[in-house]
Amino acid sequence: MNALTRPARLVEAIGRGVLDTVRAAGRLALFALAGLSHLLRPPFYWRNFVSAFGEFAFFSLPVVALTAVFSGMVIALQSFTGFSRFNAQSAVADIVVLSVVRELGPVLAGLMVAGRVGAAMAAEIGTMRVTDQIDALGTLSTNPMKYLVTPRLLAGALALPLLVVVADILGVLGGFVVSVVKLGFAPEAYVMNTLAFVQPMDVIVGLAKAAVFGFLIALMGCYNGYNSKGGAEGVGGSTTASVVAASILILCFDYVLTEMFFSR
């Protein structure tokens, strides 16, 4: 009897897990659609948008800049070590610019911002939820989705590409400094190589990725915060969940977008 019921229980558990996942994905999709639908219906809360935009673009600049510079420097070092085995050191500039613009710029900026802004967003909205502030909005003729979520989703999608432009420039600069100062590359040749190799499409797709990542960070921060329950512990849990979920989604969508635009 037990031997028969055990596999059945396992199937039941797997089935329940799948259903829960599908249900959660559906709830998230509906939440995103509700947030976006308010873009088309006035009023739009510009103050909240500007504040969220500042959090994304301006206050995240130092951490993203540092990450980009050091990533560019490390890629230069590592690719030089690898390519020198095949006498292909001249490809260092190409590798640096390609990896920074296509991948590391958007992905690292996204991960950093998910940890900084996504977490703060979830904590702020989560605290508003458990202290009745979101209910209070509803009693003051204000739709909480329109007030809290829509401006943040738009700010995330618009601000991260700007941040990634800076990250791209600084990442390439980091690679340039290491290549010229430490590895002995000629500055003019390095710059010429970089400019010759990078295509407008590389930059455009990198920025498109950044827009998607920014939207996902804001979405996960808002969704987890909005659905917080159970006081301080619940807010802590939703903050963690927002960072973890945003980071995983960034990496998944990075693959999907790369596959869409760059696979041949």
* Least separation in angstroms between CB 179 and other proteins: 46
Across the chain, how many H-helices and E-strands are there? 12, 0
Interface segment toward other proteins; rule CB under 8 A; list 18-26, 62-70, 126-134, 193-201: 126-134
Q: Is 132 in the site for other proteins (CB under 8 A)?
A: yes
Contact characters 14-43, other proteins, x per CB under 8 A: -----------------------------x
**With contact defined as beta carbons under 8 Å apart, do 65 and 170 qualify?**
yes
Among 25, 50, 66, 136, binds other proteins (CB under 8 A): 136
Q: 143 Cβ partners below 8 Å, 6+ apart?
A: 38, 137
245 in helix, strand or coil?
Answer: helix
Whole-angstrom distance, CA of residue 228 vs CA of residue 213: 22
Whole-angstrom distance, CA of residue 104 vs CA of residue 238: 27
Q: Is 139 in the site for other proteins (CB under 8 A)?
A: yes
Whole-angstrom distance, CA of residue 175 vs CA of residue 183: 10
Name the residue among 201, 218, 207, 181 with its Cα closest to residue 52. Answer: 218
Interface segment toward other proteins; rule CB under 8 A; list 52-60, 84-92, 131-139, 165-173: 131-139
Q: 232 Cβ partners below 8 Å, 6+ apart?
A: 130
Q: Which is nearer to other proteins, 146 or 209 (CB)?
A: 146
Interacting positions 50-109 with other proteins (CB under 8 A): none
Whole-angstrom distance, CA of residue 231 vs CA of residue 103: 38
Among 60, 96, 105, 124, binds other proteins (CB under 8 A): 124
Interface segment toward other proteins; rule CB under 8 A; list 1-9, 56-64, 127-135, 161-169: 127-135
* H/E stretch holding 151: helix 150-177
Interface segment toward other proteins; rule CB under 8 A; list 9-17, 86-94, 136-144, 209-217: 136-144
Q: Is 127 in the site for other proteins (CB under 8 A)?
A: yes
* Least separation in angstroms between CB 31 and other proteins: 18
Q: Is 131 in the site for other proteins (CB under 8 A)?
A: yes
Which positions touch other proteins (CB under 8 A)? 43, 124, 127-128, 131-133, 135-142
